[in-house]
Structure 1
Amino acid sequence: MTQEISQADLPTIRLMPKANARAIRHGSPWVFDNELVTDRRTKALAAGTIARLEDAERKFLGTVAVNPNSRIFARMLERDESVVINRAWLVAKLKMALDHRTRLFDKPFYRLVHAEADGLPGVVIDRFGDVAVIQPNAAWAEAMIEDIAAALAVATDVKAIVKNGTGRSRSLEGLPEETVVLKGEITGPIPVLMNGATYMADILGGQKTGLFYDQRPNHAFVQGLVKDQKVLDVFSHVGGFALAALAGGAKSAISVDSSQPALDLAELGAKAMKAGTTFATRKGDAFDTMAALETERRKFGVVVCDPPAFAPSKPALEKGLRAYERVARMSSVLVEEGGYLVLCSCSHAADLDAFRTACIRGIGRAGRTAQLIYTGFAGADHPLMPQLAESGYLKALVFRML
């Protein structure tokens, strides 16, 4: 267990006089390196160190986790000066998060912790029944991973816990990539029932934690459009919208993805649903496959494109928006008249207005007209922190093609 340190023993970091202390007091969870007095002592703090944050007048603002190797130098952990950051604190945070999820879902398959929005900055925890996967995407969480796992075992009844230390966020924190089983054992893909569909989550070898829970409400909306329709799901991962569509009464569904292991899991899910005869896969580049389908003169009642983040950061925004426009243009021509086009973005750098504009431009360039009938976001197990736009990353737009 990590040694407990009292407030009096914590190192202190201080805002520069021109820094916006008011934003911190009003809930902003991050302090950037150019907002702090970064002397030799401050720069020498080990990544993951817990510290006191003070304003320029030496007034306490909060207990923070610091990483001198990151642009986000400090992440807010606790605003109550009397509270100590320890295992008991972690248990309390996890129980608060768990209470919300158990109100939402009757079975334990959900995102249990959504980082800053659940008061655990940089920490993502997805639950798959008796298994939980922790993504410690900040240096403090990496340093306290044993405490987080132990607290998770106390707060829930999970029997296996996996640390998934992969992804872009960890590289920005200067953390290595590794996936480790911290508790129990994983014997294979885990079946997850969601919106009547069965998904197979590869906890150890899949993308991120093995399955994306964030699209659950958007899957449910699209299910209302697919009865007796042919459905095309591009960037499908392990079945995504395609399996949800089959559960909603679609005539057939095709999953397109560049990953054969992901498509294999999608096929396992379809067979578990007894929908194998109406489900097909096409492995390949999404853009090449859409071009081929146009050449084949294929049309679908519903087409879904749920690509990876084309604009993961502000420097990538312009290029990312062009990619979203291209997706909209190429997918538009595959939709039957009166059919539906579903376009999604998980890029937090591309806000809703920018993403919607790119989609509309792409549809127009394809020579199609459309009605926007639905705008969706992540489910309620992915809460939005109002002071942090990045926590509201997912957008889903549904157009009816005229």
Structure 2
Amino acid sequence: MSDRRPPSGSVAIVARRGAQRIRRGHPWVFRSDVECFPDLPAGIVRIAESNGAPLGFALWSPRSEISLRHIERNPAHEPDAAWWHAKLRTAIARRAPLAREANAYRLVHGEGDGLPSLVVDQYGDVLVVQLLSAGVDAWTDTIVSSLVELTGCSGILARNDPAARGREGLPREVRLLYGEVPRTVEVVEHGVRYLAAPWDGQKTGAFLDQRENRVLIGSLARGQALDCFAYHGSFALHLARNADQVFALDVSAPALARVHEHAERNGLTNIESVEGDAFDVLRAWYKEGRRFDTIVVDPPAFAKTRSAIDGALRGYKDINLQAMRLLAPGGLLFTASCSFHLSRGHFFEMLQDASADSGRAFALRAITGQPLDHPELITVPETGYLKGALLEAM
């Protein structure tokens, strides 16, 4: 489709399909559903249907397949600095209950908070932001100014290194935006302490989305416990408070070194690091007759694209099957997937298949999703990705 533009050049004209998508509660308008493109740089633009009916305002990304991200329905309320401040204040206030038990959580979850392509995570008194579209990137200074005022933070770091930035025609970089941000920050989470690494750690420095799930399985842990794909040991630390012994299994020696450091930080002496590939180690342990009373399986995303689903399902089934075989009678398995492209339906079908192949019966004790600070909108499937299950070996 050619980039036809209205005479004014200041309004994006959205095709009927795109307008229906907005009215059904999804903010994204793809390039193929834009009839006339605004002759404006990236930022916020007014949008309307081809018949002239106003649709409000959207973030505009000239080079992205997601050309428009709807942010404001009221055509009389053009977003400005005060608008951003009010939206950020609302999102931050929603997280207030979390501060009683943790000093690290997500303040803004993009589309889930009505602020598409913007992520803000808090670690102690510093913030880490991700500005994942050209439209939101144009408002960086305004966003930073409001965050400083609203949180009183001592530093803001931009972890603008995800691949999504490249698709927007933006540089992939890690850049200090305000104050000072140390290389590591101590996170306190329901009494457990560990270090986040804002500059170079996974995601924005740590895995904040599993916080409540770590507390859940940690409170139920007992006996011999196993944390597969342990990374820095966030699950292992919670398991160790109630289990007799915890094995933190990961393929990365540097990650396991951080597990040891975190165990010392918490005064825990019952965590043992095991370096190796989880698939291979679990098979070997099963052949040796090893059994565990509590197991956590929290692997990285196996399905990073839709085309990878079949292979990912095989991987998820394999690792869960091995874990199920290792569980002692009455043992508990917490298993999760952070692959957006793997639906809840596929996830539970995979667990059913693994259970059947294990030759054992498993009771479903709990189904988990995303915590308060990672809101999943039912009209925006892309806001949800994390799904988990607590299973009991009968």
Query: 2: distance between equivalents of 1:170 and 1:337?
Result: 48
Q: 2:157 matched to 1:162? A: yes
Match of 1:267 in 2: 260
Aligned-pair identity in percent equals 33
Instruction: Name stretches of at least 5 consecutive residues in structure 1 with no aligned partner.
Output: 1-8
| 1:373 partner amino acid | R
Compared CA separation, residues 172 and 297, structure 1 to 2 (3 A): farther
Q: How many angstroms does 1:122 deviate by?
A: 0.9
Change (3 A) 1:310 1:87: same
2:48 is aligned to 54
2:73 aligned residue: 79
1:133 is aligned, of 124, 128, 131, to 128
The CA distance in 1 between the partners of 2:78 and 2:56, in whole Å, is 11
State the secondary structure of the residue aligned to 1:316. helix
Distance 1:259 1:151, change over 3 A: farther
Task: Give the 3-state SS of the residue equivalent to 2:321 in structure 1.
Answer: helix
TM-score for the superposition, normalised by structure 2:
0.92
Give the Å deviation of 1:204.
0.9
Letter in 2 for 1:197: V
- Alpha carbons of structure 1 residues 36 and 233: separation in structure 2 relative to 1, 3 Å: same
Any conservation in 1 of the 2:43–2:139 contact (CA below 8 Å)? no
Once superposed, what is the RMSD of the aligned Cα atoms?
2.1
Map residues 203-218 of structure 1 onto 2, 5 A cutoff: 203-218=198-213
Separation in structure 2 between the aligned mates of residue 231 and residue 175 of structure 1, nearest angstrom: 44
The corresponding residue for 1:342 is 334
Q: Post-superposition shift, 1:281?
A: 1.6
- Structure 2 gap segments, 5+ residues each: 1-7
Moved more, 299-308 or 64-73: 64-73
Partner of 2:5: none
2-structure distance, mates of 1:75, 1:375: 31
In structure 2, C-alpha distance between the alignment counterparts of 1:205 and 1:118, rounded to whole Å: 26
Instruction: Measure the CA separation in 1 of the matches of 2:165 and 2:287.
Output: 41
User: Deviation per CA, 1:138-181, whole angstroms, max 9, x where unpaired?
Assistant: 22222322222222101111101110012243344343321112
Question: Contact between 1:137 and 1:165, CA under 8 Å: does it hold in 2?
Answer: yes
Report what 2:376 is aligned to.
Answer: 384
Counterpart contact for 2:103–2:187, Cα < 8 Å: no
Q: Secondary structure at the match of 1:14?
A: strand
1:66–1:74 CA contact under 8 A, matched in 2: yes
TM-score (norm 1): 0.90
Q: How does 1:227-246 map to 2 (within 5 A)?
A: 227=222, 229-246=223-240
- 2:13 aligned residue: 14
Question: Structure 1's 166 and 288: CA in aligned 2 closer, same or farther, altered over 3 A?
Answer: farther
Q: How many residues align?
A: 387
Q: What corresponds to 1:33 in structure 2?
A: 31
Once the two structures are superposed, what CA deviation does each residue of 1:189-215 show, in whole Å capped at 9, x if it has no partner?
211111222121011111111111211
Establish whether residue 90 from structure 1 lines up as the match of residue 90 from structure 2.
no
Deviation per residue, 1:278-318 (Å, 9 max, x gap): 11222333222323333443221111111111223322222
Q: Aligned match of 1:394 in 362, 376, 386?
A: 386
Q: Distance between the aligned counterparts of 2:171 and 2:304, measured in 1?
A: 20
Checking the alignment, whether the CA contact within 8 Å between 1:188 and 1:202 is kept in structure 2 is: yes
Amino acid at match of 2:270: T
CA contact (8 A) 1:233 1:256 kept: yes
- In 2, Cα distance between equivalents of 1:369 and 1:170: 45
SS at match of 1:350: coil
CA separation of 1:328 and 1:130: change in aligned 2, threshold 3 A: same
Aligned match of 1:279: 271
Conserved? CA contact 2:60–2:135, under 8 Å: yes
Aligned to 1:5: none
| Secondary structure of the structure 2 residue equivalent to 1:324 | helix
Contact persistence 2:279–2:319 (CA under 8 A) = yes
How far 1:20 moved relative to its partner?
Answer: 4.9
- In the alignment, what sits opposite 1:181? 176
Aligned residue runs from structure 1 range 242-391, under 5 A = 242-247=236-241, 249-275=242-268, 277-391=269-383
Following superposition, the deviation at residue 58 of structure 1 comes to 1.4
- Whether the aligned pair in 2 keeps the contact of 1:102 and 1:108 (CA below 8 Å) is no
Q: What secondary structure is seen at the aligned counterpart in 2 of 1:362?
A: helix
